[in-house]
Structure 1
Amino acid sequence: MPRPYKCRRISEIPKVAYYKPAGIPLSMLEENQLSTEEAEALRLKDLLGLEQAQAALQMNISRPTFQRMLYSARYKVADALLNGKALRIEGGVFEIDARPCCQRQTPSCQPDPPKQT
């Protein structure tokens, strides 16, 4: 039996959710998707300079989970920057500060917003 899901906490939805190389039409680009939680991990560790344990505590996850999330986020960002891919920030299952966590298994959960093209 799998462990129960532990809701991830973020401080806010990123204000900008899409980045792409200048001068290349969107239709010609590959795209990497960064989850909202991965963006929060980057913000806490790389922008605010928190230690992994402190950032993990703030996100309500274990330090190893935070480390895996941070590694995944850094890989996706580096791949997009160095290989000329677009980067979309969206999706995930999380709570914003004190709002309740949306888990996909519950009928009251709002689905991820549709992708904009």
Structure 2
Amino acid sequence: MPRPTKFRRVEFFPKDTYFVPLNKPKCEIEEVNLKIEELEAIRLKDIEGLNQEECAEKMHISRQTFQNVIDNARKVIAIALTQGKAIKIGGGHYTTRNCELKCGNCGKIYEVKQEDDHFICPECNSEKVGCRKRSETCEKWCRGIKNV
């Protein structure tokens, strides 16, 4: 049985999540998916200028896992650029820090683990979920959600 995938720590969530090549009919556009943690790896290494060890530490993963994540990210981007494909950013296996949500229905407090479970309480499946505390990192994740 394979080892469960460890959540990757992510601090940046883009506002723009879809990039399309110009002058190509919509019916001909294929897309590739760039995961949230892959974008974070690119940001840390290529924009922040951190070394591999620092990047891995920030993402709470091993150096080898970081290398695998960034290699895949660069491959996805290279395919999109050389083959004229759209890039859709989303999904993945990640977590963030300093972001606790509270259910307005049952009162359960829980940490966000993935984008998909963001608005639904794991206890009662209520959608009356809000941000428990606001911090700079949390603000990036919870933009638009009311405090509870």
In 1: Cα distance, 2:2 partner to 2:23 partner = 46
1:14 CA displacement:
1.3
Which consecutive aligned stretches of 4+ in structure 1 deviate over 4 angstroms post-superposition? none
Residue number in structure 2 paired with 1:102? 113
Matched, 1:30 2:30: yes
In structure 2, stretches of 5+ residues that fail to align are: 100-110, 126-148
In structure 1, distance between residues paired with 2:16 and 2:47: 15
Aligned partners of 1:65 and 1:101: how far apart in 2?
Answer: 22
**Alpha carbon RMSD of aligned pairs, Å?**
2.3
In the alignment, is the contact (CA less than 8 A) between 2:18 and 2:88 conserved in 1?
yes
1:9-20 equivalences in 2 (<5 Å): 9-20=9-20
After TM superposition, give the deviation of residue 4 of structure 1 in Å. 4.5
TM-score, normalised by the number of residues in structure 1: 0.81
Distance between the aligned counterparts of 1:64 and 1:101, measured in 2?
25
Aligned residues: 108
Structure showing greater relative contact order (alpha-carbon pairs closer than 8 Å, 6 or more residues apart) = 1
Deviation at 1:98, TM superposition (A): 2.3
Aligned to 1:45: 45
Larger Rg: 2
Partners in 1 of 2:55 and 2:76 — Cα distance?
20
Q: How much has 1:82 moved relative to structure 2?
A: 1.1
Q: How far, CA to CA, are the matches of 1:4 and 1:76 in structure 2?
A: 23
Say yes or no: does 1:62 pair with 2:76. no
Q: In the alignment, which residue of structure 2 is the partner of 1:87?
A: 87
Matched to 1:76, the amino acid is V
